[in-house]
Each structure stands twice: as C-alpha cells, then as structure tokens.
Structure 1
Amino acid sequence: MKTRVITAIIALIIFVPLLIIGGIPLTIFTSLLGAIAIGELLYMKKRLLVSFEAIFSFLAVIVTILPNNFWLMLPANNLFQRQSLLYFFIAVILIVTVLTNNRLSFDDAGSLVLGVFYIGFGFHYFLQARSDNWMSFVFGLIIVWSTDSFAYIFGRRFGKHKLIPKVSPNKTWEGSVGGTIIATIIATIFAVLFKINPQFNVFQIIFVALLLSIAGQFGDLIESALKRFYGVKDSGNILPGHGGILDRFDSMLFVMPLLVLFGVS
C-alpha cells in the first residue's frame, strides 16, 4: 500500500502540471504514454520490443495520437497526412508477416493494428478533449476517477453479486451501480456550477455523465479481459503498485473519445 501511495503522489506531481499546461509538453508526454501502452501490448503478447513490428507499431500509435493542429502545420501533401502514414505503417506490419514466414502471424498483426487504433485514438481524443474545453475535460476526469473510487468503496462495503467474474472476479454489481450513481451526481454538480457547456441542460448532462461512467467501466473490463486472455496480472510494471499505463488509462481510452463525440468538449 505504501508503494502504491508513493507512486500515485509522484504520478500526480508530474501529470497534473502537464494537464494544466497542455500544448506541446502534454502532447509529447501523451505520445510517450501511448508508445509505452503499445509496448505493454507487445509485452503481453510476448513479442520483442526491438523488432520491425514493434518499431512500426510505435510509429503508428504516435501518428494516431498527434493532434490535428500538428498536421495542419505540414505541407498539404497526402504523403504527410495522418491517414497515409498510418496506412503505410500498418502495411509494413502486414509485410513483416510475409518476410518472417509467419513468425509474426496475420492474427498477431491484426491484434497490433487493433491495439494501435484502441490506444492511439483513445489518447488522441484525450488530447483533443483537453484542447477543446478545459472544464469539460475536467468533467471527464471527474467521471473516471469518482466512478473508480466509489465503485471500489461500494464494492468493499456492500458487494455481494459478482459483475463478470470470469473477466474481473473482484468487481460487483453493487460497486458498479454505486460508483456510477455517485460519479453522475458529482459530475453533474460540477457541470452545472461551472457551466461546462451552455448547450446542455441539466438532464442532458446527467444522461451524458451516466453513459460516460458506464463506458469507463467497460474500458476497465475490456482491459481486464485482455490481461486475462494473455494470462498476466498487470499490463506492465512501470507504475509500482499500480501496474502499467493501460491499467491506469483503460477507462480514459473509452471516456475521452465519447466526451468529444457527444459534443461536451
């Protein structure tokens, strides 16, 4: 527990100022997080981190993460556009399946490409949400953190009925529902007090907060299913006591894209 608390304090000291500053420092840091996260996927799949498929997976995920304004600074040439580069990197990963006589199988390549989209666009919209509207971004953070915290508290105190035991044996329906209700209340109060988006009335805010809280829990469960499939306890060990980047950002990767999709940010 001591290690977990120390890690959390150090992470907050680094993370919170970068969130406040935003811009290039946060973009660089977020790209690094994405690269580490795709590295964790390679680790879970027991693939080498120094290989053609790993290098091009790193490049593909960073290209996906970079914000739109970065691409607007480049010449108007398709060679430099996100889609073209992303397709090129994915094509190289597929070519590796041929050149290595299926040492990297098509299934392996497919899981890496899916990981690039899952991690890359999750962190891309994390940056976009921060850039679009600071208060809406904090609204998303509140939903993720309060859902996680109160689901744990309610689960420990009242949990009796397992949510999906084959995926995450410690999660309960009581924790899930309790976390969602409290997170929705806290996030709604925050949104009303700080008027995060005048276009949304209180009922729409409640609806969005509820959906985002549920989405965040699905993000958590999906990452749990991924770890269980590969037979690992944590996605990595870069954060002592907390696991890996995917362990800490699994909910964010689902909540932030939806925050932008719903037009809250």
Structure 2
Amino acid sequence: MKVRVITAIVALIIFVPLLVIGKLPLLILTLMMGVVAVGEILRMKHSFFVSTEAFISFIGVIAMILPNSFWHGIPFIKSAHVVFYILAFLMLLNTVIVRNHFNFDDAGALMLAMLYIGTGFHYFYQARGVGLATVMFGMLIVWITDSGAYIVGRAIGKHKLAPKISPNKTWEGSIGGSVVAVLVVPTLFSLFGWLPNYNLFELLGIAILLSIAGQFGDLIESGFKRHYGVKDSGNILPGHGGILDRFDSMLIVMPLMALLEMLG
C-alpha cells in the first residue's frame, strides 16, 4: 500500500501540472504514454520491442495520437487514417515476410491496439485543447466511478459482475460507483458553471453514459489481460501496474465524449 500511495503522489505531481499547462508539454507526455501502452501490448504478446511489427506499432500509435492540425500541409497525407492504412498494409506484408514468427492474428491484435490506444489518447489531448474543464469532466467521471465502485463493492458487494473476466467486481460496486459519479460530478460542474454550454440535466445524461462506458473500458482491459495470462499490463507504475491499467477507462470515455460532440 505504501508503494502504491507514493507512486500515486509522484504521478500526480508530474501529471497534473502538465494537464494544466496543456499544449506541447502535454502532447509529449501523451505520446509517451501511448508508446508505453503499445509496448505493454507487445510485452503481453511476448513480442520483441526491436522488431518490424513493434516499429510499425509505435509509429502507428504516435500517428493516431497527433492532433489533426499536424497533418495539414503534408503532401498526400491529409489525416492519420492515411498513415494508419499504410502501416496496416506494412503490418500485413510482414506476415508474409516472416510468416513463421508473425501471423494474421498477431497483425490484427497490433493494428487494433494502435487504433484503440491511439484514438483514446488522441481525444484525451483534444479534450484538453477544448478546455481544462472538459477533460476534467471526463476524468473525474472515471476516477470517481472507479473509487466509488471499489468502496461500495468492498462494503456490500455480493453479486459478481463478470466473474470470468474480473472476479473482484460486483454489480453493487458497479452501480454504486456510477451513482456516486453521476450525482457528484454534474452537480459540481453545474454549480460552479465550469461547462456553461450544458445544463444540469444534460450533464447528468452524459455522466451516466460516460460512467457506464468507463466501466466497460475497465472490463475490456481485464479481458485481454486474462487472455494473455497476466495480472497487470505493465510495471511502469509500481503498485498500480501499467499505463493501460490506469487509463483503460479513459481510452473509451474520451472518444465517446467526441461522439457526444463535447470536443467540438
């Protein structure tokens, strides 16, 4: 527990100021987190970090994270999706070149990882570009849902939510975490006028969707950890696991905020 607390304090000391500053410092941090997250996928798959597929994966996640404005003026490339298509072709070509060591399933897993991780972090950075209040709304929904689910689940949890994927999660904890987040975050933001374009009822509706989606994000990551037979996605955050362990919900919540047109 001591290691976990110390790691959380150090991480917040680094993360929060960069989140407040935004712009290039936050973009660099976001790119680094994306690369580490893809590295965690490679590690779970027992793939070499120095390999063609790893190089393609790292370039791909960076391309997906970069803001849309980065691609303006670059000949023949109008968006990250063009780069992704090229890299996907190279990934598939790699299955032909080294078919005994890298197959179609491997290529599919890494291409999905590039898309899933890259898109999530892309919209995280875009949310900060809209405003600190916007990105904090999504992150607070995730954090409070997670903390509330843990506390309520420990106190009264009896019915398993997904025992084959995440045996410690309960329906009571899941519902309790969402209730706490949905009551606290929209009320706080509405009271202080931090998202003036939305009224309380709109924030409540959005919060419900984000809280549920965030929990699905957690279960998705638990699912592929169980598939690969690992407890944590990585060990870069002692006591907390890896980047995917900490940002799994956010990778789903931030794109959903974009779909809900909260990011412009």
Same fold per superposition (TM over 0.5): yes
Matched, 1:36 2:36: yes
User: How far apart, CA to CA, are the structure 2 residues paired with 1:156 and 1:25?
Assistant: 38
**Cα distance in 1 between the residues matched to 2:186 and 2:127:** 18
CA distance in structure 1 between the partners assigned to 2:79 and 2:17 by the alignment: 31
Q: Bigger CA drift: 26-35 or 131-140?
A: 131-140
CA distance in 1, matches of 2:87, 2:63: 9
The alpha-carbon deviation at position 60 of structure 1 amounts to: 0.4
Give the aligned partner of residue 227 of structure 2. Answer: 229
Task: Indicate the residue corresponding to 1:49 in structure 2.
Answer: 49
Contact kept? 2:145, 2:178, Cα under 8 Å: yes
Paired AA for residue 177 in structure 2 = G
TM-score, length basis structure 1: 0.96
Deviating 4+ runs (over 4 angstroms): none
Counterpart-to-counterpart distance in 1, 2:56 and 2:76:
19
Aligned to 2:233, what secondary structure does the other structure show? coil
What residue is the counterpart of 1:117 in the other structure?
A: 115
The residue identity in structure 2 corresponding to 1:204 is: E
Provide the residue aligned with 1:147 in structure 2: 145
What is the RMSD of the two structures over their aligned residues, measured on CA atoms?
Answer: 1.2
Query: What is the alpha-carbon distance in structure 2 between the residues aligned to residue 137 and residue 219 of structure 1?
Result: 17
**In the alignment, structure 1 residue 100 sits paired with structure 2 residue 106:** no
Preserved CA contact (<8 Å) 1:162 1:171: yes
Matched residue of 1:48: which SS? Answer: coil
Stretch of structure 1 that moved more, 94-103 or 176-185: 94-103
Alignment gaps of 5+ in structure 2: none
Counterpart in the other structure of 2:27: 27
Q: 2:218 aligns with which of 203, 217, 220?
A: 220
The separation in 1 between residues aligned to 2:27 and 2:100, in whole angstroms, is: 35
Q: How far is the alpha carbon of 1:195 from its aligned partner? A: 2.6
State whether structure 2 residue 206 is matched by structure 1 residue 208: yes
Q: CA deviation at 1:21?
A: 0.5
CA shift, 1:141, in A, is: 1.2
Match of 2:162 among 144, 161, 164: 164
Q: Which residue of 1 aligns with 2:12?
A: 12
- Which moved further from structure 2: 189-198 or 228-237? 189-198
Q: Within 1, Cα distance between the matches of 2:203 and 2:99?
A: 53
Report 1:118-133 matches (<5 A). 118-133=116-131
SS in 2 for 1:78: coil
Does the CA-based 8 Å contact 2:71-2:77 persist in structure 1? no
Partner of 1:62: 62
Shift of 1:80: 6.3
Answer with 15-24 or 79-88: which moved more.
79-88
Q: Which letter does structure 1 place at the counterpart of 2:5? A: V
Query: Which whole-Å CA distance do the structure 2 matches of 1:70 and 1:194 have between them?
Result: 34
**Range with greater deviation from structure 2 (255-264 or 33-42):** 255-264
Q: Which residue identity is paired with 1:179? A: G
Per-residue CA distance 1:48-91 (angstroms, 9 max, x = gap): 1110000010000000000112223xx25224642222222221
Q: Is the Cα–Cα contact under 8 Å of residues 197 and 264 in structure 1 kept in the other structure?
A: no
Distance 1:137 1:197 in 2: 11
Q: Aligned equivalents of 2:190 and 2:76: distance in 1?
A: 43
